Structure 1
Amino acid sequence: MKDLINIWLWVVTTLLNNEAKKMYNLSAVSWQKDKDVKQAAYKSTRNKWQRRWEISERSRDHYEKIPTTKHSIMYDFPTKRHFSIFAQLRTGYTELNYYKNRVGQTNAIESCNCGAPEMPHHFLLECPCYENEREDMLHQISKEVGVRNLNLATMLTRLDGENTEETKA
Structure 2
Amino acid sequence: MAAHLMKEVVRRDPGQEISHYADNQSIIKALTSRKGRTGQYLIESYRRGTHKASQDTARIRLRWISAHSGVEGNEAIDVAAKEAAGGRSSRREELPSILKGKEGLRASKAAIKQEKKEQVKRDWEKKWKESPRYARMARIDPNHPYRKFRKWKDGLSRNQGSILVQLRSGHLPINVYLKKIQKREDDYCDWCKEKEGQIVPETVNHLMLNCPAYKEEREKMKQRLG
Query: So what's the TM-score if we normalise by structure 1?
Result: 0.50
Q: Percent of pairs identical after alignment?
A: 26
2:138 corresponds to: 63
Q: Would the alpha carbon gap of residues 121 and 47 (structure 1) be closer, same or farther in structure 2, given more than 3 Å must change?
A: same
**1:98 CA displacement:** 0.8
Q: Where in structure 2 are there 5+ consecutive unaligned residues?
A: 1-108, 194-199
Task: Give 2:213's aligned amino acid.
Answer: C
Q: Would the alpha carbon gap of residues 94 and 40 (structure 1) be closer, same or farther in structure 2, given more than 3 Å must change?
A: farther
Task: Give 2:188's aligned amino acid.
Answer: S
Q: Would the alpha carbon gap of residues 137 and 41 (structure 1) be closer, same or farther in structure 2, given more than 3 Å must change?
A: farther
CA distance in 2, matches of 1:42, 1:92: 34
Query: So what's the TM-score if we normalise by structure 2?
Result: 0.39
Q: Would the alpha carbon gap of residues 132 and 101 (structure 1) be closer, same or farther in structure 2, given more than 3 Å must change?
A: same
Matched, 1:100 2:178: yes
Matched, 1:90 2:165: no
CA distance in 1, matches of 2:186, 2:205: 17
Larger % of helix: which? 1
Q: Where in structure 1 are there 5+ consecutive unaligned residues?
A: 1-32, 143-169
Matched, 1:110 2:187: yes
CA distance in 2, matches of 1:96, 1:58: 23
Q: In structure 2, which of residues 159, 168, 181 is the aligned counterpart of residue 81 of structure 1?
A: 159
Task: Give 1:90's aligned amino acid.
Answer: R
Q: Would the alpha carbon gap of residues 57 and 45 (structure 1) be closer, same or farther in structure 2, given more than 3 Å must change?
A: same
Larger % of strand: which? 2
Q: Would the alpha carbon gap of residues 101 and 45 (structure 1) be closer, same or farther in structure 2, given more than 3 Å must change?
A: farther
**Mapping of 1:19-168 within 5 angstroms?**
46-58=121-133, 60-72=135-147, 73-77=149-153, 78-79=155-156, 80-106=158-184, 109-112=186-189, 113-115=191-193, 116-142=200-226
Alignment coverage as a number of residue pairs: 106
